[in-house]
Chains A and B, each alone.
Chain A
Amino acid sequence: METVKIKIDNKQLEVPKGTTILQAAKDAGITIPTLCYMNLPHLAKEHKPGSCRVCVVEVKGHKTLVPSCVTKCVDGMEVLTHSLRAINARRTVVELLISDHPKDCLICPSSGSCELQDLAITLGIREIPCVDNAAISTYRKDSSPSLLRDMDKCVMCRSCETVCNEIQTVGALNAIHRGFMSVVAPAFEQDLIDSPCTFCGQCVAVCPTGALTMQDHTFQVIRALADESKFVVVQTAPAVRAALGEEFGYEPGTLVTGKMVAALRALGFDKVLDTDFAADLTIMEEGTELLDRISRHLQGDKDVRLPILTSCCPAWVNFFETNYPDMLDVPSTARSPQQMFGSIAKTYLANKLGVKKEDMVVVSIMPCLAKKYECQRKEFYTDGIPDVDYALSTRELARLIKYGNIDFTSLEDENFDRFMGESTGAAVIFGVTGGVIEAATRTAYEIFTGKTLENVDFHELRGLEGIRQATIDFDGTPIHIGIAHTLGNARKLLDGVRSGMYNFHAIEIMACPGGCIGGAGQPLHRGDSSVLEARMKAIYKEDANKVIRKSHENPEIVTLYEEFLGAPMSEKAHELLHTCYFCHPRK
């Protein structure tokens, strides 16, 4: 490998040819501040428009300062990252950025997690010479069920645009207009709800400021908790327990299941239950549907549509409704675990507890922002009442715990309530890419072959590779499985299926990088892929620790079918646990 010798801040370094100054400095432990730069190594995506000029450094012999994110190291180069000239230029750049930025930091949803605010602090900016009197945002409100856009706070780094177009291939956002007028927006500056946006929220996860934020439902939940006439039930998604700890100073990958349950109980929820229970239920329905389609296919039924696609991910559902209207009969009709939980809670559970349906409030804690949209879909309302009332993100739960003045770290571990609190290892792994199909495989194998599955770990289905394929031997019958995470990879996989390049029986798709562990409602990781890996490890650890690891062996699931549903895919199950899809052609 060809290398070049350079000096950064008087440190002699040897780096591979083609390395940028920013990267070389980072590897040497020297931090150069950035704003528009975004690196997502797990997605092999480096976004460096070189437009903000915050990362400028001084290079000896150069007349001008250079942006370190796009300048490559050259043999003999001497770089000063924090010379007076560089610092002054950086300060001016940030002062100008702030000059027309709304000054409502105190009440901004991104206050405390804003990169522009951080820059102003680290650069010690205390006055702005050229002030535009923008006190608060005046941008018209673009408020969708999941996301909020406030373009007065946009710094035009265009990270959201890169994620939306290149990673997710959704194409909802693009820079429009020019000069001072330019903003990132959907076509014709329409609202997100009218655009092809899937509400995956990955744009929110990469936005350095308060321009793109999540809809906050914490105060609705606080009000419900304070209302004595309401019976408030909470469910927590699998990926939340592997990330919530990060908001309270724990290392990424620390499982905080017990503390999370204790915190929710302390907040006053009447029942602390688990979406994992509903994930097991999903496997019963989706797994049965999968087996039904495969068996009919093997018997030569020409009408059967394969591959079957998973349908747990609401952003993915929005994506295929918009982009693949010709394939609406391909995905499984099984509702997502969040919605299955809601419909069982407001029927069977309410009845069992003697609570009136209209007095029950179901809150879900999700790693996801699209879940907020999902629970507001009209097909998930029964008699005008939503099955799930509010979907909070992991970050919102952390806020709720802080508002409640609960000292999270000192809480003793507690267990979920029963009924709908019991779950298996198969349900836990719903939180990572490959997990849903692995869970389905564990159950489908046993039903299909009639044999007991000895080793439940399907390592061939795991990993962070964007598109993965595996063939599982169902006792002589090979079952071909495809897995994709991020919507861009989903598109590649689906186009491959359409063109006949791939031939799968079943495909699992999750919209976010890494699956739900990388969801847009999780603590922000700012492109640090080691955080995702740690969360993934934690999920598999939780699975391995479970006594029961196959969904159909969950005793509460067995009871639910015996007492209420009958059998998977029964008429009652269809009414409560399945759905249909709608065509939303691209505008």
Chain B
Amino acid sequence: MHTPMNKYELNDSHKKTIKEICESFGNKHGELINILHRTQEKLGYLPEAVQNEIALNLDMPLAKVYGVVSFYSFFTMTPKGKYPISVCLGTACFVRGAERIVETLEEELKIKVGQVTEDGKFSLDCLRCIGACGLAPVILIGDDVHGRLTPDMIKGILKQYK
């Protein structure tokens, strides 16, 4: 699990991590997307304080950083679960019943898309096409791909994650 973070205030170790990431990309404005990727990978998500710290390090407007974060659906401002679940809603998955998969996951986990379970174990999100259309419909749990799904398979799959 990632170190818990206050949404609005960062401790020195978080600040140091962000500074190092920015420096590793030469503090270049053009590297903002890479910096955000790496930061999210390290800290789990990109709350206000993290974006502000990145803006200060790169000496660029916070509005610009938030502009990028809010544009790409990959970036998240809310913490993710231990096992983040992403349901593909690309064309192929969609026509093969991805919507019913989402509904089943919502019922099983008792959360809505964009939320985290109370125990912090699972979070649920949707994305567009992961390029595994042959396996449609597909979900990602962490880095694992589960394909050719039907709603009745969901319960068993979730059980594999402790």
Instruction: Point out residues on A near B: beta carbons under 8 Å.
Output: 165, 170-178, 182, 185-188, 195-196, 586-587
Instruction: List 25 A–B pairs whose Cβ atoms lie within 8 Å, in order of A's numbering.
Output: A165-B61, A170-B61, A171-B62, A171-B63, A171-B64, A172-B63, A173-B63, A174-B63, A174-B64, A174-B66, A174-B67, A175-B67, A175-B71, A176-B70, A176-B71, A178-B70, A178-B71, A182-B71, A185-B63, A187-B51, A187-B63, A187-B65, A195-B63, A586-B62, A587-B62
For A170, give the chain B residue with the smallest CB separation. Answer: B61
What residues on A are CB-neighbors of B71 within 8 Å? 175-178, 182
Q: In the complex the two chains form, what is the Cα distance from A177 to B61 in whole Å?
A: 16
What residues on A are CB-neighbors of B65 within 8 Å? 187
| Chain B binding surface SS class | helix
Inter-subunit contact A171/B60 (CB<8 Å): yes
What residues on A are CB-neighbors of B60 within 8 Å? 171
- The 3 A-B pairs of least Cβ separation, nearest first, read A171-B61, A174-B63, A174-B67
Q: In the complex the two chains form, what is the Cα distance from A196 to B56 in whole Å?
A: 13
Q: Which of B48-106 contact A (CB under 8 A)?
A: 48, 51-52, 55-56, 60-67, 70-71
Inter-subunit contact A176/B66 (CB<8 Å): yes
Q: In the complex the two chains form, what is the Cα distance from A172 to B67 in whole Å?
A: 11
* CB proximity of B75 to chain A, nearest CB, Å: 12
* CB proximity of A180 to chain B, nearest CB, Å: 13
For A171, give the chain B residue with the smallest CB separation. Answer: B61
| Chain A binding surface SS class | loop
* CB proximity of A504 to chain B, nearest CB, Å: 24
* CB proximity of A267 to chain B, nearest CB, Å: 40
What residues on B are CB-neighbors of A178 within 8 Å? 70-71
Inter-subunit contact B62/A176 (CB<8 Å): no
* CB proximity of B152 to chain A, nearest CB, Å: 34
For A195, give the chain B residue with the smallest CB separation. Answer: B63
Q: Among the listed B52, B64, B67, which residue makes an inter-chain contact with A587, where contact means beta carbons less than 8 Å apart?
A: B52
What residues on B are CB-neighbors of A176 within 8 Å? 63, 66-67, 70-71
What residues on B are CB-neighbors of A172 within 8 Å? 61, 63
Q: In the complex the two chains form, what is the Cα distance from A171 to B67 in whole Å?
A: 11
For A196, give the chain B residue with the smallest CB separation. Answer: B61
Question: Besides the contacts A171-B62, A176-B63, A182-B71, what 20 more A-B pairs have beta carbons closer than 8 Å?
Answer: A165-B64, A171-B60, A171-B63, A171-B64, A174-B61, A174-B64, A174-B66, A176-B67, A177-B71, A186-B63, A187-B48, A187-B51, A187-B61, A187-B62, A187-B63, A188-B48, A188-B66, A196-B62, A586-B55, A587-B62
For B56, give the chain A residue with the smallest CB separation. Answer: A586
What residues on B are CB-neighbors of A170 within 8 Å? 61
* CB proximity of A512 to chain B, nearest CB, Å: 20
Q: In the complex the two chains form, what is the Cα distance from A29 to B70 in whole Å?
A: 43
Q: In the complex the two chains form, what is the Cα distance from A186 to B65 in whole Å?
A: 11
For A181, give the chain B residue with the smallest CB separation. Answer: B70
For B63, give the chain A residue with the smallest CB separation. Answer: A174
Q: In the complex the two chains form, what is the Cα distance from A185 to B66 in whole Å?
A: 10
What residues on B are CB-neighbors of A174 within 8 Å? 61, 63-64, 66-67
* CB proximity of B74 to chain A, nearest CB, Å: 12
For A169, give the chain B residue with the smallest CB separation. Answer: B61
Q: In the complex the two chains form, what is the Cα distance from A196 to B66 in whole Å?
A: 14
Q: Mark B26-63, 1 if CB is under 8 A from A, else 0.
A: 00000000000000000000001001100110001111
Inter-subunit contact A177/B62 (CB<8 Å): no
For B64, give the chain A residue with the smallest CB separation. Answer: A174
Q: In the complex the two chains form, what is the Cα distance from A587 to B55 in whole Å?
A: 9
Q: In the complex the two chains form, what is the Cα distance from A188 to B71 in whole Å?
A: 12
For B60, give the chain A residue with the smallest CB separation. Answer: A171
What residues on B are CB-neighbors of A177 within 8 Å? 70-71
Q: In the complex the two chains form, what is the Cα distance from A165 to B62 in whole Å?
A: 11
For B51, give the chain A residue with the smallest CB separation. Answer: A187
Q: In the complex the two chains form, what is the Cα distance from A178 to B70 in whole Å?
A: 8
What residues on B are CB-neighbors of A175 within 8 Å? 67, 71
What residues on A are CB-neighbors of B48 within 8 Å? 187-188
Q: In the complex the two chains form, what is the Cα distance from A196 to B71 in whole Å?
A: 21
What residues on B are CB-neighbors of A173 within 8 Å? 63
Q: In the complex the two chains form, what is the Cα distance from A170 to B61 in whole Å?
A: 8
What residues on A are CB-neighbors of B51 within 8 Å? 187
* CB proximity of A197 to chain B, nearest CB, Å: 10
* CB proximity of B65 to chain A, nearest CB, Å: 7
* CB proximity of B60 to chain A, nearest CB, Å: 7
For A173, give the chain B residue with the smallest CB separation. Answer: B63
For B61, give the chain A residue with the smallest CB separation. Answer: A171
For A182, give the chain B residue with the smallest CB separation. Answer: B71
* CB proximity of B132 to chain A, nearest CB, Å: 24
For A177, give the chain B residue with the smallest CB separation. Answer: B70
Q: In the complex the two chains form, what is the Cα distance from A586 to B67 in whole Å?
A: 17
What residues on B are CB-neighbors of A188 within 8 Å? 48, 66
* CB proximity of A432 to chain B, nearest CB, Å: 29
Q: Which of B55, B56, B65, B70 has the most CB of A within 10 A?
A: B70
Q: In the complex the two chains form, what is the Cα distance from A122 to B52 in whole Å?
A: 45
Q: In the complex the two chains form, what is the Cα distance from A173 to B66 in whole Å?
A: 10
Q: In the complex the two chains form, what is the Cα distance from A219 to B59 in whole Å?
A: 42
* CB proximity of B73 to chain A, nearest CB, Å: 8
Q: In the complex the two chains form, what is the Cα distance from A70 to B32 in whole Å?
A: 27
What residues on A are CB-neighbors of B66 within 8 Å? 174, 176, 187-188
Q: In the complex the two chains form, what is the Cα distance from A171 to B65 in whole Å?
A: 11
* CB proximity of A51 to chain B, nearest CB, Å: 15
What residues on A are CB-neighbors of B55 within 8 Å? 586
* CB proximity of A196 to chain B, nearest CB, Å: 7
Q: In the complex the two chains form, what is the Cα distance from A178 to B65 in whole Å?
A: 14
Q: Mark B11-33, 1 if CB is under 8 A from A, else 0.
A: 00000000000000000000000
What residues on A are CB-neighbors of B64 within 8 Å? 165, 171, 174
Q: In the complex the two chains form, what is the Cα distance from A196 to B63 in whole Å?
A: 9
For B73, give the chain A residue with the smallest CB separation. Answer: A178
What residues on B are CB-neighbors of A186 within 8 Å? 63
Q: In the complex the two chains form, what is the Cα distance from A196 to B60 in whole Å?
A: 12
